[in-house]
């Protein structure tokens, strides 16, 4: 393995870090429910009773007890929603002490752990939250799939806002998570541009800020459900407990000269039954979402492929293609099945492959059971 870890004659002591962002989904969640020491929390909601015509005289309901002029009293019941945390995730890696010394000390355990949290753990949590919100909206019929264009983007956004208003969702505190594609179309919509002087200023400066009192947050498509345009929600709708966040760096553990890094996170996201109408999802867009692919030089002539994403469905598969140039990679088209015989299946995340000599780029595609692509990502091949 040493040939692939860049044990250098002379390498820069600066690390070429990838782009990242802090959690965006947390703004959509509340912490009103405590899961400390519990895997399941039961949340109660109380139903209502119908109104009656008050009877000014007599006892019109002979079977009722006193006070019958108000109607027939019934026992006020209660509804129970059980919230059970199911996501229990982990990671681990080793940094050999000799590798660290011979790579100008760039393989720092603390920095590597921070990198894992910001590039893997946080994006996975955000992706899970956004999918949970979208699924709940669809299940409750709070959704639309009209194709978004630069002529109707603002109209479609206002439709979601109207729905939430009609469901008595508070105006203050709403937030919309949108794809960059939707944001671009919204900024080109003449109706939005004419909305106010403020919107014109936003176009000039390239900012989004708020729209109709709703905060706009642009999200990478890799974190949103496939085909998502935007999700409008309010933090009263969902709770996102992180019951355990346990990250450790073991210095010279038995059998290892170096550092063993381990991490575990127990989390989930729940939409409250009585608050589900506080989510509106506009999806079904004709698009393939992006996903991040990272390659690591391992043994001589080999590369390990890591897809920094979770499959949209467990039945989906990953396939890859390598080539000497980006243009030489097999193309993928929305709603058009790939010819899987021309690809190689990536049977596991973190699989070590042996690319054809001279190949410098890789494309990984996620396909559904019909072999239609739902996500795709390209990367430079780092080869040992």
Whether residue 319 is contained in a domain is answered as yes
For residue 65, being part of any structural domain is answered with no
Backbone angles phi, psi at 159, to 5 degrees: -60, -45
Q: Are residues 276 and 296 in the same domain?
A: no
- The packing angle between helices 153-166 and 180-188, to 10°, is 110
> Helix, strand, or coil here: 38?
coil
Instruction: Verify that 240 and 346 share a domain, yes or no.
Output: no
- Do 240 and 195 fall within a single domain? yes
Q: Which residues contact 160 (CB under 8 A, 6 or more apart)?
A: 144, 176, 230, 232, 280, 282
Strands in 242-251's sheet, in edge-to-edge order, are 87-96, 258-267, 242-251
Write out the residue range of the structural domain in which residue 314 sits: 288-380
What local confidence, expressed as pLDDT, does residue 13 receive?
Answer: 43
Residue 67 lies in a domain: no
Q: Which residue reads 């001589």 in tokens?
A: 300
Is the domain of 341 the same as that of 373?
A: yes
Q: Determine phi and psi for 164, rounding to 5 degrees.
A: -65, -35
**pLDDT by residue for the chain (384 residues), tens digit each?**
334 444 443 333 444 555 556 788 888 888 777 776 678 777 777 776 788 788 777 665 545 455 577 777 777 778 888 888 899 999 999 988 887 776 655 578 888 888 899 899 999 999 999 999 999 999 999 999 999 999 999 999 999 999 999 999 999 999 999 999 999 999 899 888 776 445 555 544 444 577 888 989 999 999 999 999 999 999 999 998 888 889 999 999 999 998 899 999 999 999 999 899 999 999 999 999 999 999 999 889 999 999 999 898 999 999 999 999 999 999 999 999 999 999 999 999 999 999 999 999 999 999 999 999 999 999 999 998
Nearest to 294, CA basis, from 113, 116, 114: 116
Any domain includes 123: yes
Q: Report if residue 139 sits inside a domain.
A: yes
Distance from C-alpha of 51 to C-alpha of 80, rounded to nearest angstrom = 24
Query: So what's the pLDDT on residue 198?
Result: 55
- Residue 97 has a pLDDT of 87
What are 17's two structure tokens?
């870090």
Q: Are residues 88 and 195 in the same domain?
A: yes
Of 255, 282, 309, which marks where a domain is finished?
282
Helical segments of 20-173, H only? 97-101, 109-116, 122-139, 153-166
How many other CB atoms sit within 10 Å of the CB of residue 300?
12
Contact between 233 and 175 (Cβ < 8 Å): yes
What CATH number has the domain bearing residue 292?
2.60.40
In the chain, alpha helices (H): 97-101, 109-116, 122-139, 153-166, 180-188, 190-193, 197-205
Residues 262 and 369 grouped into a single domain: no
Statement to judge: residues 233 and 330 lie in one domain:
no
Query: Is residue 18 one of the residues assigned to a domain?
Result: no
In a domain, 59, yes or no: no
Distance CA 371, CA 238 (A): 33
Residue 57 in any domain: the answer is no
Q: How many domains does the chain have?
A: 2
- Our CA angle for 327, 224, 135, nearest 5°, is 135
pLDDT at 44: 74
Closest-CA residue to 24 (of 280, 184, 217) = 217
Residues 99 and 138 reside in one and the same domain: yes
Residue ending a domain, among 254, 282, 310, is 282
Residue 235 sits in the same domain as residue 182:
yes
Indicate whether 210 and 304 sit together in one domain. no
Answer yes or no: do 92 and 195 share one domain. yes
| pTM, rounded to two decimals | 0.83
Do residues 361 and 324 make contact, with C-beta atoms less than 8 angstroms apart?
yes
């Amino acid at each position: 393995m040493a040939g692939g870890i860049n044990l250098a004659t002379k390498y820069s002591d600066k690390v070429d870090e990838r782009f990242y962002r802090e959690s965006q989904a947390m703004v959509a969640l509340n912490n009103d429910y405590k899961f400390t020491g519990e895997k399941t929390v039961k949340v109660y909601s109380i139903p209502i009773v119908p109104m009656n015509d008050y009877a000014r005289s007599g006892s019109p309901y002979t079977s009722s007890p006193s006070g019958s002029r108000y109607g027939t009293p019934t026992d006020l019941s209660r509804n129970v929603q059980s919230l059970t945390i199911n996501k229990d995730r982990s990671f681990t890696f080793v940094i050999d002490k000799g590798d660290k010394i011979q790579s100008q000390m760039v393989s720092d355990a603390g920095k590597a752990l921070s990198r894992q949290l910001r590039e893997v753990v946080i994006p996975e949590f955000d992706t899970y939250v956004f999918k949970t919100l979208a699924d709940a909206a669809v299940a409750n019929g709070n959704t639309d799939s009209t194709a978004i264009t630069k002529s109707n983007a603002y109209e479609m956004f206002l439709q979601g806002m109207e729905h939430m208003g009609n469901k008595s969702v508070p105006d203050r505190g709403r937030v919309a998570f949108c794809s960059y594609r939707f944001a671009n179309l919204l900024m080109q919509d003449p109706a939005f541009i004419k909305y106010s002087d403020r919107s014109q200023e936003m176009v000039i400066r390239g900012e989004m800020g708020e729209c109709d009192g709703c905060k706009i947050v642009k999200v990478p498509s890799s974190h949103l459900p496939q085909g998502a345009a935007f999700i409008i929600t309010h933090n009263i709708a969902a709770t996102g407990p992180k019951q355990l966040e346990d990250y450790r760096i073991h210095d010279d553990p038995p059998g290892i000269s170096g550092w063993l890094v381990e991490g575990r996170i127990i989390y989930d996201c729940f939409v409250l039954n009585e608050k589900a109408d506080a989510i509106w999802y506009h999806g079904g867009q004709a698009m393939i979402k992006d996903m991040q692919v990272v390659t690591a030089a391992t043994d001589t002539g080999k590369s390990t492929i890591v897809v920094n994403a979770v499959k949209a469905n467990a039945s989906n598969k990953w396939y890859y293609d390598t080539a000497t140039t980006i243009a030489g990679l097999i193309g993928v088209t929305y709603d058009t099945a790939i010819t899987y015989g021309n690809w190689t299946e990536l049977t596991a995340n973190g699989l070590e492959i042996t690319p054809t000599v001279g190949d410098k780029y890789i494309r990984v595609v996620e396909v559904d059971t019909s072999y239609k692509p739902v996500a795709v990502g390209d990367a430079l091949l780092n080869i040992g």
